Structure 1
Amino acid sequence: MLTGLSVRDIVLIERLDLACGDGLGVLTGETGAGKSILLDALGLALGRRADAGLVRNGAGQGVVSAVFDLPAKHPAHAILTEQGLDAADELVLRRVVGADGKSRAFVNDQPISVALLRRLGDTLVEIHGQNDEQGLTDATIHRALLDEYAGLEKDVSGLRDAYQAMRDAEKALIDAAQTAEQARREEDFLRHVVNELQELSPKPGEEQELAQQRSMLQAGEKLAAAMQEAQGALEQGGGVDARLRACLRALERVAEKAGGKLDAVIAQADQVLLQAGELASALDRTARDLDLDPQRLDKVEERLFALRAAARKHNVAVDDLAAMADRFAERLALIDNQAASLGKLEKAAAAAKTAYQAKAETISAARRKAAAKLDKAVAAELAPLKLGAAKFSTSVEALPPEQWSAEGADRVQFLASTNQGTAPGSLAKIASGGELSRFMLALRVVLAGRGSAGTLIFDEVDRGVGGATAAAVGQRLARLAERVQVLVVTHSPQVAAKGSHHWRIAKRETGAAKNRTTLTEVAPLQASERREEIARMLAGATVTDAARAAADSLLAGQEG
């Protein structure tokens, strides 16, 4: 709800501080007094277009601030949170326009873009005027409005879940089918590679082992000569073993006479003799184990070259050949099993689609039923507003499957015609001015505030009507104001009399004769002042007692 409007140096307004309340607020004044200026000023705070012509002549800049009281679940809170801005129960929108036409925007004294200001403003105020239609003319919100009117919010929430489940199942099927198709295109290649690698049978670490064997085999002659030389050295001069035994026997013969002093030497000689035997045996075994056959070298090199060639072919390391073979084998298994896997995914996708369709069809039927009820209710409001020739209809059109959405399988649009015999068209394209404003009023009364901003503004909704029709307009504005805050700019005394708040807009001139300045001022009216203003609206320039009596009658709720 708009609680306050502050205007500084905008067109003819030098300084204005307007306190607003709930219910129906009316703004009246003579033609040309500047009522449109007030709406232009509010439009600036809501993010509408700014230009240098809006700044009062002689001023360096113009400033407009609009203060709103926000309920806890108002959509503006979500927008502020999304943008990382501080949110509070009171929201202050401010726009500063320089004499050069450049402007700055603020929310709660935090700088923001004009686009964000407009986005916030659209959630706060809905204006129905001569050249400023929004809200109900926006076909993108018609489906949500019809759903709220029909009480389908929970059903639509469930439909969104079903839609997401359907999309997830379809994506899983598409992804699996694409993977299978790619695998099918590669099947011949995969089978060739898998057969080739299975035949090669590479093993991790095999390259290093073969390289070591190759190095050893390439040095075969040197190894053989070294082994022979080592064995010959052990056997030279009768052999190390024989000489060690002779040494040991010589020591043992005199050991008893040495009083134990030779025991350690004998033990050491005995140990050396044992190790010498082991050394000879080890040399003999190693000589037998070394397979230095040149033919074996050929086989090792052939295996090593085959592994490295396969690695180069597939652009991997030799040690990764085995893992690659396993991966390719798994992809082949997918091809072999794809029919069963895709079959399960197809069933899941079909079941999800059936579940979505069932919910969507139920909601579509409820929408069509609610649309007929809404059309009838709006039609009942049109005649008293002097729109008896107008027709309203809610189109609920089935969409093709490719256009289904989380909101359902329907396109909902409010259509209207204001003249007999003309085809219905979108609300944004029917008659303009007061006629369209009254049409929007009728629709708003029926929707009873559903989906609307917290503040509705009607600019001369009573244009071109009077008497009973103007009274009907006033009654409907007052009824609508029971649900949301309503501000109306009016020339009708019947409408003005219905207001719970009343402001008079007037011009006055200031300054000396040669430098006179015209200013627009807005003044709240007390009971006696309000009576006089309504009498002026009834009588014109000269207010008579009869006009005052008629004003009293209107203020008392009687038709005058």
Structure 2
Amino acid sequence: MLDAWAGEAVADALAAYEAAFSQADAAAAELARIREAGASTSAKLDEARFVLQRIDAVSPREGEYEELAADLARVEHAETLAMAANAAHGALASEGGAVDALGVAVSALDAAARHDGKLGEYADALREAGYVLEDIARETRDYRDSVEFDPEVLSQQQERMAALQGLLRAHGPRMEDVLACREEAADLVSLVDDAAERERVAQQAVDRAEQTLADAASVLDAARADAAPRFAAAVTQHMGRLEMGGAQLVCSIQALDRSAWTKTGASSVEFLFRPGSGMQARPLARIASGGEVSRVMLAIKVVLGESDDVDTLVFDEVDAGVGGSTAVALADVLADLARTHQVLVVTHLAQVAVRGHAHYVVRKVDGASGMPETELRRLSAQDRPAEIARMLSGDATDASLAHAREMIEAVQG
């Protein structure tokens, strides 16, 4: 609440503090991780070294497994691939093959095209197809000639695949998992081997982050300390409107131990209630009555105005023990608050009810099943004077009705 009221004066300091707090947390976590790694058991360290040695012995690279699998598929089936390419080339380019047959068809159509141009179109289309067949015939021949079968290369590739598959079974199922496992093992070994130096560097990072955080906390505390008495004075002024006597709100800011710091700050902010001048201020929640707490909260919400991020406010017992001019003052403050919020008030005071934009009556009725039910009914403009009159005198007499209408007209006017 204090931060919302203070606005940018505190917002900038709070943002800097939150960033520094996150950095200090991260630095402390890194130092703890390094110390934990340095204290790793011998068995855990031996396991990490074994994993690192085993993976480095194979030295897999990213994407290698997929490339090797594709190469093996070609090498292991080299003879089948070469025979298929050769058969395709023969069917296309050999004497009497598809290319020759297509040429015969083109010649026949060209010869007859002078009698019907349609045949010439067919000939042109087949001629284009012939170019495609010639290209494929040439490419299948080149593919056939490029296929090589080297038993030694095949053996090497199969051995390499077996080694990679062994790593996948142990640390997979994906090669990315194997590489991540290697990084984790290497990091642990490095942490232990360079523990003293890493801890020294991490401790320096923590010290720098803590100093930055302490500086940011001081700036934030100063901004809040500047805003706190002004906020309390503004709330106290509205408490005076509610005729709460000499009661005051005191905004107390107390520094916390470093272990208790949170992302919201290095100090605690508490609202204290002083019932009268010369009396000791004590925590609002413990000393104030229910009605007083409601009225203090009402005053706070009015002071916050549009800075408050709560859209709807519900007040119950805010009029407890209130009457006369205090009730009118209370209604005025609630009306002020309704300019920036949706305000729902449970009240027995006509002075408060008459200020509402809408007036509902809540009563218990017998339900269809014989069980009591709660009925909520919005009053029309015609019904409202009677209810206000009932709240004034307990019954809608001519005098109370006249008074009720006068009150409604005064508000509306």
**Shift of residue 400 of structure 1?**
1.4
**Shift of residue 386 of structure 1?**
2.4
CA distance in 2, matches of 1:507, 1:358: 60
**Shift of residue 333 of structure 1?**
5.7
**Shift of residue 462 of structure 1?**
1.4
1:349 aligns with 2:206: yes
1:359 aligns with 2:212: no
1:39-58 aligned within 5 A: none
CA distance in 2, matches of 1:334, 1:414: 51
**Shift of residue 330 of structure 1?**
6.9
**Shift of residue 379 of structure 1?**
0.7
CA distance in 1, matches of 2:250, 2:188: 62
**Shift of residue 415 of structure 1?**
1.6
Structure 1 residues 498 and 329 mapped into 2: Cα distance closer, same or farther (>3 Å)? Answer: closer
Alignment partner for residue 426 of structure 1, among 283, 296, 301? 283
**Shift of residue 373 of structure 1?**
1.1
Is the CA contact 2:389–2:395 (under 8 Å) kept in the aligned structure 1? Answer: no
1:548 aligns with 2:401: yes
Name the counterpart of 2:362. 505
Is the CA contact 2:273–2:288 (under 8 Å) kept in the aligned structure 1? Answer: no
1:492 aligns with 2:349: yes
Deviations 1:35-70 (A, max 9, x none): xxxxxxxxxxxxxxxxxxxxxxxxxxxxxxxxxxxx
Name the counterpart of 2:235. 378
Is the CA contact 2:273–2:287 (under 8 Å) kept in the aligned structure 1? Answer: yes
**Shift of residue 384 of structure 1?**
2.2
Is the CA contact 1:394–1:414 (under 8 Å) kept in the aligned structure 2? Answer: yes
CA distance in 2, matches of 1:329, 1:460: 66
**Shift of residue 479 of structure 1?**
1.5
One-letter amino acid of the counterpart of residue 377, structure 2: A
Deviations 1:256-309 (A, max 9, x none): xxxxxxxxxxxxxxxxxxxxxxxxxxxxxxxxxxxxxxxxxxxxxxxxxxxxxx
Is the CA contact 1:430–1:436 (under 8 Å) kept in the aligned structure 2? Answer: no
CA distance in 2, matches of 1:497, 1:440: 21
Name the counterpart of 1:163. 21
CA distance in 1, matches of 2:257, 2:364: 58
More strand by share: 1
Name the counterpart of 2:194. 334
Equivalent position SS for 2:359:
strand
1:244-393 aligned within 5 A: 334=194, 338-339=196-197, 341-393=198-250
CA distance in 2, matches of 1:404, 1:551: 55
One-letter amino acid of the counterpart of residue 166, structure 1: A
Equivalent position SS for 2:407:
helix
CA distance in 2, matches of 1:523, 1:375: 39
Structure 1 residues 327 and 445 mapped into 2: Cα distance closer, same or farther (>3 Å)? Answer: closer
Structure 1 residues 509 and 365 mapped into 2: Cα distance closer, same or farther (>3 Å)? Answer: same
1:456 aligns with 2:313: yes
Name the counterpart of 1:200. none
1:447 aligns with 2:338: no
CA distance in 2, matches of 1:160, 1:327: 30
Name the counterpart of 2:30. 172
More helix by share: 2
Name the counterpart of 1:483. 340
1:16-95 aligned within 5 A: none
Structure 1 residues 327 and 438 mapped into 2: Cα distance closer, same or farther (>3 Å)? Answer: closer
CA distance in 1, matches of 2:333, 2:261: 37
One-letter amino acid of the counterpart of residue 538, structure 1: L
Alignment partner for residue 390 of structure 2, among 507, 511, 536? 536
Structure 1 residues 519 and 162 mapped into 2: Cα distance closer, same or farther (>3 Å)? Answer: closer
TM-score (norm 1): 0.43
CA distance in 1, matches of 2:269, 2:20: 20
Equivalent position SS for 2:382:
helix
Deviations 1:128-167 (A, max 9, x none): xxxxxxxxxxxxxxxxx22111123454233222111112
1:148 aligns with 2:17: no
Name the counterpart of 2:62. none
**Shift of residue 176 of structure 1?**
3.5
CA distance in 2, matches of 1:450, 1:359: 24
TM-score (norm 2): 0.56
Moved more, 401-410 or 501-510: 501-510
- Larger Rg: 1 or 2? 1
Is the CA contact 1:417–1:423 (under 8 Å) kept in the aligned structure 2? Answer: yes
Deviations 1:500-520 (A, max 9, x none): 001123456799xxx998765
Structure 1 residues 456 and 328 mapped into 2: Cα distance closer, same or farther (>3 Å)? Answer: closer
CA distance in 2, matches of 1:173, 1:404: 19
**Structure 1 unaligned runs (5+)?**
1-144, 191-203, 205-325
Is the CA contact 1:463–1:491 (under 8 Å) kept in the aligned structure 2? Answer: no
**Shift of residue 396 of structure 1?**
1.0
**Shift of residue 355 of structure 1?**
1.5
Moved more, 414-423 or 167-176: 414-423
Structure 1 residues 332 and 528 mapped into 2: Cα distance closer, same or farther (>3 Å)? Answer: closer
Structure 1 residues 331 and 504 mapped into 2: Cα distance closer, same or farther (>3 Å)? Answer: closer
Is the CA contact 1:460–1:491 (under 8 Å) kept in the aligned structure 2? Answer: no
Name the counterpart of 2:380. 526
**Shift of residue 542 of structure 1?**
4.7
**Structure 2 unaligned runs (5+)?**
47-56, 58-185
Which structure carries more relative contact order (alpha carbon 8 Å, separation 6+)? 1
Name the counterpart of 1:405. 262
Kindly, what percent of the aligned residue pairs are identical?
A: 34
Is the CA contact 1:474–1:494 (under 8 Å) kept in the aligned structure 2? Answer: yes
Name the counterpart of 2:325. 468
